[in-house]
A and B are shown apart, each in its own frame.
Chain A
Amino acid sequence: KQEVTQIPAALSVPEGENLVLNCSFTDSAIYNLQWFRQDPGKGLTSLLLIQSSQREQTSGRLNASLDKSSGRSTLYIAASQPGDSATYLCAGPFNQAGTALIFGKGTTLSVSS
Protein backbone atom coordinates (compact mmCIF):
# COMPACT_ATOMS: atom_id res chain seq x y z
CA LYS A 1 0.00 0.00 0.00
CA GLN A 2 1.34 3.39 -0.98
CA GLU A 3 2.14 5.75 1.89
CA VAL A 4 3.13 9.37 1.42
CA THR A 5 4.99 11.31 4.13
CA GLN A 6 5.89 15.00 4.28
CA ILE A 7 8.52 16.59 6.48
CA PRO A 8 8.51 19.09 8.11
CA ALA A 9 4.89 19.60 9.11
CA ALA A 10 5.45 23.34 9.38
CA LEU A 11 8.12 25.78 8.25
CA SER A 12 8.65 29.50 8.85
CA VAL A 13 11.09 31.53 6.77
CA PRO A 14 11.82 35.21 6.12
CA GLU A 15 10.92 36.69 2.75
CA GLY A 16 13.49 36.10 0.03
CA GLU A 17 14.78 32.81 1.33
CA ASN A 18 15.03 29.74 -0.90
CA LEU A 19 13.48 26.66 0.63
CA VAL A 20 12.87 22.95 0.04
CA LEU A 21 9.84 20.90 1.01
CA ASN A 22 10.22 17.14 1.21
CA CYS A 23 7.93 14.27 0.27
CA SER A 24 8.70 10.54 0.58
CA PHE A 25 6.74 7.55 -0.67
CA THR A 26 6.93 3.83 -0.02
CA ASP A 27 6.07 2.33 -3.40
CA SER A 28 8.99 2.85 -5.78
CA ALA A 29 6.76 1.76 -8.65
CA ILE A 30 5.25 5.24 -8.46
CA TYR A 31 4.97 6.64 -11.96
CA ASN A 32 3.91 10.16 -11.18
CA LEU A 33 3.83 12.57 -8.29
CA GLN A 34 1.84 15.74 -7.93
CA TRP A 35 2.35 18.82 -5.74
CA PHE A 36 -0.58 20.93 -4.58
CA ARG A 37 -1.13 24.18 -2.75
CA GLN A 38 -3.98 24.79 -0.30
CA ASP A 39 -4.88 28.19 1.12
CA PRO A 40 -6.84 28.32 4.41
CA GLY A 41 -10.49 27.45 3.92
CA LYS A 42 -9.99 26.71 0.24
CA GLY A 43 -9.71 23.71 -2.05
CA LEU A 44 -6.43 22.42 -3.47
CA THR A 45 -4.71 23.73 -6.57
CA SER A 46 -2.36 21.52 -8.56
CA LEU A 47 1.07 23.13 -8.91
CA LEU A 48 3.24 20.57 -10.67
CA LEU A 49 2.81 17.03 -12.00
CA ILE A 50 5.97 14.97 -12.52
CA GLN A 51 5.88 11.79 -14.57
CA SER A 52 8.42 9.09 -13.73
CA SER A 53 10.00 9.57 -17.15
CA GLN A 54 10.85 13.12 -16.06
CA ARG A 55 13.27 14.01 -13.30
CA GLU A 56 11.80 17.42 -12.61
CA GLN A 57 9.24 20.03 -13.54
CA THR A 58 9.43 23.80 -13.27
CA SER A 59 6.81 26.52 -13.05
CA GLY A 60 8.02 30.03 -12.33
CA ARG A 61 9.82 30.04 -8.98
CA LEU A 62 8.79 26.45 -8.28
CA ASN A 63 10.82 23.38 -9.17
CA ALA A 64 9.79 19.84 -8.27
CA SER A 65 12.00 16.79 -8.60
CA LEU A 66 11.27 13.08 -8.43
CA ASP A 67 13.78 10.37 -7.47
CA LYS A 68 12.07 7.00 -7.62
CA SER A 69 15.11 5.05 -6.47
CA SER A 70 15.21 6.88 -3.15
CA GLY A 71 11.44 7.25 -2.84
CA ARG A 72 11.64 11.02 -2.58
CA SER A 73 10.35 14.17 -4.18
CA THR A 74 11.26 17.75 -3.35
CA LEU A 75 9.56 21.05 -4.05
CA TYR A 76 12.00 23.94 -4.30
CA ILE A 77 10.65 27.47 -3.89
CA ALA A 78 13.03 30.24 -4.92
CA ALA A 79 12.98 33.74 -3.45
CA SER A 80 10.01 33.09 -1.22
CA GLN A 81 7.29 35.74 -0.84
CA PRO A 82 4.55 36.27 1.78
CA GLY A 83 2.05 35.21 -0.88
CA ASP A 84 3.66 31.76 -0.87
CA SER A 85 2.29 31.18 2.65
CA ALA A 86 0.00 28.15 2.38
CA THR A 87 -0.05 24.41 2.95
CA TYR A 88 1.77 22.34 0.34
CA LEU A 89 0.76 18.73 -0.24
CA CYS A 90 2.24 16.00 -2.37
CA ALA A 91 0.26 13.06 -3.75
CA GLY A 92 1.03 9.78 -5.45
CA PRO A 93 -1.00 7.01 -7.07
CA PHE A 94 -3.34 5.10 -4.78
CA ASN A 95 -3.21 1.93 -6.89
CA GLN A 96 -1.30 0.36 -9.75
CA ALA A 97 -3.81 1.61 -12.26
CA GLY A 98 -3.19 5.13 -11.03
CA THR A 99 -6.90 5.83 -11.02
CA ALA A 100 -6.77 7.84 -7.78
CA LEU A 101 -4.26 9.74 -5.63
CA ILE A 102 -3.37 9.58 -1.96
CA PHE A 103 -1.89 12.52 -0.14
CA GLY A 104 0.73 13.36 2.42
CA LYS A 105 -0.40 15.44 5.39
CA GLY A 106 1.24 18.55 4.04
CA THR A 107 3.78 21.18 5.05
CA THR A 108 2.39 24.51 6.25
CA LEU A 109 4.66 27.30 5.08
CA SER A 110 4.73 30.77 6.57
CA VAL A 111 6.80 33.47 4.86
CA SER A 112 7.26 36.64 6.87
CA SER A 113 7.93 40.05 5.36
Chain B
Amino acid sequence: NAGVTQTPKFQVLKTGQSMTLQCAQDMNHNSMYWYRQDPGMGLRLIYYSASEGTTDKGEVPNGYNVSRLNKREFSLRLESAAPSQTSVYFCASSEAGRGHEKLFFGSGTQLSVL
Protein backbone atom coordinates (compact mmCIF):
# COMPACT_ATOMS: atom_id res chain seq x y z
CA ASN B 1 0.00 0.00 0.00
CA ALA B 2 2.28 2.79 -1.33
CA GLY B 3 -0.24 5.65 -1.02
CA VAL B 4 1.44 8.89 -2.18
CA THR B 5 4.98 8.55 -3.51
CA GLN B 6 7.30 11.52 -4.05
CA THR B 7 10.64 11.57 -5.81
CA PRO B 8 13.35 12.55 -5.17
CA LYS B 9 13.58 12.63 -1.36
CA PHE B 10 16.51 15.05 -1.35
CA GLN B 11 17.83 17.47 -3.95
CA VAL B 12 20.44 20.20 -4.06
CA LEU B 13 20.29 22.76 -6.86
CA LYS B 14 22.27 25.79 -7.84
CA THR B 15 20.48 29.08 -8.39
CA GLY B 16 19.00 29.18 -11.88
CA GLN B 17 18.83 25.42 -12.38
CA SER B 18 15.54 23.75 -13.17
CA MET B 19 14.02 20.55 -11.87
CA THR B 20 10.77 18.64 -11.61
CA LEU B 21 9.40 17.05 -8.46
CA GLN B 22 7.36 13.95 -9.17
CA CYS B 23 4.31 12.73 -7.29
CA ALA B 24 2.15 9.65 -7.86
CA GLN B 25 -0.77 8.20 -5.91
CA ASP B 26 -2.28 4.73 -6.19
CA MET B 27 -5.58 5.39 -4.35
CA ASN B 28 -7.56 6.46 -7.43
CA HIS B 29 -7.97 9.93 -5.94
CA ASN B 30 -9.32 12.75 -8.05
CA SER B 31 -7.58 15.67 -6.32
CA MET B 32 -3.88 16.30 -5.83
CA TYR B 33 -1.92 19.09 -4.17
CA TRP B 34 1.52 20.55 -3.73
CA TYR B 35 2.53 22.26 -0.47
CA ARG B 36 5.76 23.71 0.82
CA GLN B 37 6.73 23.78 4.48
CA ASP B 38 9.10 26.34 5.93
CA PRO B 39 10.11 27.03 9.55
CA GLY B 40 7.89 29.73 11.02
CA MET B 41 5.67 29.82 7.93
CA GLY B 42 3.90 26.51 8.25
CA LEU B 43 2.50 24.55 5.36
CA ARG B 44 1.47 26.64 2.36
CA LEU B 45 -0.47 25.58 -0.72
CA ILE B 46 1.40 26.08 -4.01
CA TYR B 47 -0.91 24.55 -6.63
CA TYR B 48 -3.67 22.03 -6.68
CA SER B 49 -5.57 19.92 -9.17
CA ALA B 50 -9.18 19.31 -8.20
CA SER B 51 -9.60 16.76 -10.97
CA GLU B 52 -7.69 15.34 -13.90
CA GLY B 53 -7.22 18.05 -16.52
CA THR B 54 -7.51 21.02 -14.14
CA THR B 55 -4.95 22.95 -12.12
CA ASP B 56 -5.33 26.04 -9.94
CA LYS B 57 -3.08 28.41 -8.04
CA GLY B 58 -2.80 28.20 -4.29
CA GLU B 59 -1.35 30.66 -1.79
CA VAL B 60 2.22 30.82 -3.15
CA PRO B 61 2.31 29.85 -6.87
CA ASN B 62 4.98 32.26 -8.11
CA GLY B 63 8.08 30.54 -9.48
CA TYR B 64 6.35 27.18 -9.96
CA ASN B 65 4.48 25.33 -12.67
CA VAL B 66 2.52 22.12 -12.41
CA SER B 67 1.31 19.37 -14.70
CA ARG B 68 -1.45 16.88 -13.98
CA LEU B 69 -0.07 14.19 -16.26
CA ASN B 70 -2.92 11.75 -15.64
CA LYS B 71 -5.12 10.80 -12.73
CA ARG B 72 -2.22 9.26 -10.82
CA GLU B 73 0.55 11.80 -11.36
CA PHE B 74 1.01 15.48 -10.50
CA SER B 75 4.40 17.12 -11.04
CA LEU B 76 5.83 20.39 -9.76
CA ARG B 77 8.44 22.22 -11.83
CA LEU B 78 10.89 24.90 -10.81
CA GLU B 79 12.02 26.58 -14.03
CA SER B 80 14.76 28.75 -12.50
CA ALA B 81 15.41 27.83 -8.89
CA ALA B 82 16.03 30.56 -6.32
CA PRO B 83 17.35 30.31 -2.74
CA SER B 84 13.89 31.37 -1.52
CA GLN B 85 12.59 28.08 -2.87
CA THR B 86 14.66 26.11 -0.37
CA SER B 87 11.99 24.18 1.49
CA VAL B 88 10.41 20.83 2.15
CA TYR B 89 7.83 20.03 -0.51
CA PHE B 90 4.85 17.78 0.14
CA CYS B 91 2.47 16.24 -2.31
CA ALA B 92 -0.98 15.14 -1.15
CA SER B 93 -4.14 13.63 -2.60
CA SER B 94 -7.79 13.21 -1.71
CA GLU B 95 -11.05 12.03 -3.17
CA ALA B 96 -13.13 14.85 -4.61
CA GLY B 97 -16.31 16.27 -3.17
CA ARG B 98 -17.70 17.17 0.21
CA GLY B 99 -17.31 14.50 2.82
CA HIS B 100 -14.24 13.17 1.08
CA GLU B 101 -11.70 15.81 1.98
CA LYS B 102 -9.36 13.59 4.00
CA LEU B 103 -5.85 14.32 2.77
CA PHE B 104 -3.12 11.74 2.32
CA PHE B 105 0.45 13.03 2.25
CA GLY B 106 3.70 11.83 0.75
CA SER B 107 6.88 11.77 2.83
CA GLY B 108 8.28 14.97 1.33
CA THR B 109 11.17 16.25 -0.78
CA GLN B 110 13.85 18.30 0.93
CA LEU B 111 15.13 20.85 -1.59
CA SER B 112 18.11 23.13 -1.09
CA VAL B 113 18.91 25.89 -3.57
CA LEU B 114 22.41 27.32 -3.22
Interface residues of A (CB under 8 A from B): 31-32, 34, 36, 41-46, 49, 51, 89, 91, 93-94, 97-106
Query: On chain B, which size bracket covers the interface?
Result: 20 to 34
> Are the CB atoms of B45 and A100 closer together than 8 Å?
yes
Interface residues of B (CB under 8 A from A): 4, 31, 33, 35, 40-45, 48, 50, 56, 58-59, 90, 92, 96, 98-99, 101-108
Provided the pairs A99-B56, A100-B33, A100-B48 are in contact, do residues A43 and B105 lie with their beta carbons within 8 angstroms?
Answer: yes
Provided the pairs A32-B101, A99-B56, A101-B101 are in contact, do residues A43 and B48 lie with their beta carbons within 8 angstroms?
Answer: no
Q: A97 to B103: give the CA distance in the assembly, Å.
A: 16
> Are the CB atoms of A44 and B103 closer together than 8 Å?
yes
> Are the CB atoms of A99 and B31 closer together than 8 Å?
yes
Provided the pairs A32-B98, A44-B90 are in contact, do residues A102 and B45 lie with their beta carbons within 8 angstroms?
Answer: yes
Most buried by B among A34, A45, A46: A46
Provided the pairs A46-B102, A49-B102, A102-B45 are in contact, do residues A94 and B107 lie with their beta carbons within 8 angstroms?
Answer: no
> Are the CB atoms of B101 and A104 closer together than 8 Å?
no
